[in-house]
């Protein structure tokens, strides 16, 4: 397969804000943008959470999907190298949530009251009008990455709090705008902010969260470097979202079709950039050197690509009893996922494209995609990126405890729903 563009290289572009609604566009892959909410008054878990989570499979989990061998598929993925100590991860997440939550609430409390209400609604802290809400809460993965990134740099855990707050604010900003671009009316069982408050107000709330994230970092020692790191990630996030929107309108076949290497770059930007940024920001504020910061950013970016590709595999072959989604749902929605793009480049590509264009017989399309090597190639690609995560972490000269918790957290993300 074509190697990914040297990316995991950082593109030096600045951040941008939302696009107008595009409700007629197909639903995009939601790897980076599906997030649980948090409950402010009840002090439940913190804000919106990581995305691109591997979903359960007929074998049980995304981790097992990676490990389950079929002819020609990898039989032993590097997920095991990352999975040491994953049973301790809930305690790590709880520790980081308890550390970050008060600072996140304080930051949102500085917003204009109406805008702050919309932000609190987006975090799941309140209902429309400000009445307290009881939300399911999220695991706090991004904020944990920021705290552990600071600890990996040899700094105390509190050094990563501002980074964790900034990343949570930016993630929620991206969700507000993403829902508008997708035309999505529901998120986590509630109307999305633009449905509840209107498109203009939701855009305004997203812009306010973005500005608040920059303000949060700028006031910290080392804030200038942190703002630069965040700006690069935001530029990549916007680039990935733009590519993903454009992919929906490109043909299945011919010279204009989406290539697997384009997909890798999109997934790194849309899904991986903010994961890498979370860990890197904590390290920047913790006083880490550029090599450590770059290594943590690489680890998050590779993890994001693996997330998205595993999610793609499960979107076609996952068990709906555990994924909660219709069988072959991604094929029915016409999503240009990695297994599909690989299969379209095979001798069976023309027949597969015809089925996808017509929307007929998704079961037959799934079988042909697997026979064409789409499933095995996707799992091999996920394996390569998981291995790259471990390689990047090997370049982080951190204390044993911080290194162990960081590896455990990343292994947890590979194995479980987020």
Residue 271 has pLDDT above 70, yes or no: yes
More confident residue, 1 or 397: 397
DSSP 159: G
- The token pair that represents 164 in the structure block: 């964790």
Residue 124 has pLDDT above 80, yes or no: yes
Question: CA 54 to CA 311: how far, in whole Å?
Answer: 5
Containing 132, the helix (H) or strand (E) segment is none
Share of the chain above pLDDT 90, in %: 50
The residues, any chain, with a CB within 8 Å of residue 273's CB and separated by 6 or more, are 232, 233, 234, 236, 237, 240, 300, 301, 304
Please report which confidence band the pLDDT of residue 73 belongs to, taking 50, 70 and 90 as the band edges.
very low
Which value, in Å, is the radius of gyration of the alpha carbons in the chain?
Answer: 20
Range of lowest pLDDT (57-61, 169-173, 196-200): 57-61
Range of lowest pLDDT (48-62, 84-98, 300-314, 318-332): 48-62
Full-prediction pTM beyond 0.85? no
For residues 100 and 123, the answer to whether their CB atoms sit within 8 Å is: no
Mean pLDDT of 299-327: 83
Mean model confidence pLDDT for the chain:
79
Containing 187, the helix (H) or strand (E) segment is strand 186-187
Residue 170 has pLDDT above 60, yes or no: yes
Q: Which of 66-75, 85-94, 145-154 has the highest mean pLDDT?
A: 145-154
CA distances from 6 to 9, 10, 234, 271, 302 (A): 6, 9, 19, 17, 12
User: What pLDDT does 61 receive?
Assistant: 46
Distance of CA 104 to the CA centre of its chain: 20
Mean pLDDT of 213-237: 94
For residues 383 and 75, the answer to whether their CB atoms sit within 8 Å is: no
- The token pair that represents 114 in the structure block: 């109406």
Range of lowest pLDDT (61-70, 287-296, 307-316): 61-70
The number of helices, as runs of H, and strands, as runs of E, in the chain is 19, 2
pLDDT digits (tens, 9 = 90+) for 180-194: 988 888 887 789 999
User: What pLDDT does 329 receive?
Assistant: 80
Residue 49 has pLDDT above 60, yes or no: no
User: What pLDDT does 65 receive?
Assistant: 52
């Amino acid at each position: 397969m074509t190697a990914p563009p040297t990316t995991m290289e950082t593109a030096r572009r600045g951040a941008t804000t939302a696009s107008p609604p595009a409700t007629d566009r197909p639903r995009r892959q939601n790897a980076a943008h599906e997030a649980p909410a948090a409950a402010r008054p009840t002090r439940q878990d913190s804000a919106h959470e990581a995305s691109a989570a591997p979903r359960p499979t007929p074998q049980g989990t995304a981790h097992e999907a990676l490990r389950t061998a079929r002819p020609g598929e990898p039989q032993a993925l590097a997920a095991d190298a990352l999975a040491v100590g994953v049973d301790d991860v809930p305690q790590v997440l709880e520790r980081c949530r308890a550390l970050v939550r008060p600072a996140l609430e304080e930051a949102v409390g500085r917003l204009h009251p109406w805008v702050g209400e919309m932000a609190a609604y987006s975090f799941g802290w309140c209902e429309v009008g400000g009445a307290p809400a009881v939300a399911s809460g999220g695991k706090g993965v991004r904020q944990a990455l920021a705290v552990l990134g600071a600890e990996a740099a040899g700094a105390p855990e509190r050094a990563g709090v501002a980074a964790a707050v900034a990343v949570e604010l930016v993630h929620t900003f991206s969700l507000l705008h993403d829902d508008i671009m997708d035309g999505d009316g529901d998120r986590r069982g509630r109307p999305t902010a633009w449905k509840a408050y209107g498109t203009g107000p939701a855009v305004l709330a997203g812009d306010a969260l973005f500005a608040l994230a920059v303000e949060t970092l700028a006031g910290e020692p080392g804030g200038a470097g942190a703002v630069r790191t965040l700006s690069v990630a935001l530029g990549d996030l916007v680039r990935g979202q733009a590519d993903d929107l454009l992919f929906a309108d490109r043909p299945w076949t011919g010279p204009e079709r989406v290539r697997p290497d384009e997909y890798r770059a999109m997934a790194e930007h849309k899904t991986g950039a903010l994961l890498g940024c979370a860990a890197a920001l904590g390290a920047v504020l913790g006083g880490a050197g550029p090599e450590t910061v770059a290594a943590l950013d690489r680890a998050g970016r590779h993890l994001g690509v693996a997330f998205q590709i595993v999610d793609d595999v499960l979107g076609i072959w996952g068990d709906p009893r555990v994924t909660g989604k219709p069988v072959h749902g991604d094929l029915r929605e016409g999503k240009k996922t990695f297994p599909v793009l690989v299969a379209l480049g095979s001798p069976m590509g023309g027949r597969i494209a015809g089925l996808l264009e017509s929307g007929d017989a998704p079961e037959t399309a799934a079988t042909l995609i697997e026979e064409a090597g789409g499933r095995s190639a996707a799992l091999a690609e996920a394996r390569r990126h998981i291995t790259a995560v471990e390689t990047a972490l090997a370049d982080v000269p951190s204390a044993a405890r911080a290194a162990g918790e960081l590896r455990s957290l990343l292994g947890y993300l590979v194995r479980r729903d987020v």
